Amino acid sequence: MTDIPKDLKYSRDHEWVRSTGNGKVRVGLTAFAQRQLGDVVFVELPESGAALDAGEPVGTVESVKAVSEVYTPVSGTIAAVNESLNDSPELINEEPYDQGWIVDVTLSAPKQLDDLLTAAQYGDYIKAESDG
């Protein structure tokens, strides 16, 4: 798969995590996830300031095929939400690793980043999942 940026970390729930410095990360859905969902038509975003533990739902994404929960792969506090998704949910399809981000999180347990998958590991994971 060529659309797995090497500078990101990945969850088995198909979220990506990008360090933005100062103990914060940006979280979004992978290109693989958005392709599985199909055309995204609505995104429910969390409240800024909400505290979440890794694995908790951080919002929902509604597509023409299904409604799916998005999980935070790290624990922390929601520092910002991508308000652009309210008017343009299709950004998740069009630019999953750029303008289609979902939330910024201030980490409460930075070591959790070590538990996430590298780009190569994620590529192997989705290949195995697709073959399975």
Domain with 44, as residue range(s), is 14-110
Residue 6 falls within a domain, yes or no? no
Q: What are phi and psi of 31, to 5 degrees?
A: -60, -40
Q: Is the pLDDT of residue 65 over 70?
A: yes
Average pLDDT estimate for 101-125: 97
Q: Read off the CATH number of the domain in which 82 is found.
A: 2.40.50.100
What is the number of domains present in the chain?
1
Radius of gyration of the chain measured on its C-alpha atoms: 14
Q: What are phi and psi of 85, to 5 degrees?
A: -70, -20
pLDDT at 130: 82
pLDDT at 1: 47
State how far the Cα of 100 lies from the Cα of 120, in Å rounded to an integer.
Answer: 22
Q: What is the pLDDT of residues 69-109, one digit of tens each?
A: 999 999 999 999 999 999 999 999 999 999 999 999 999 99
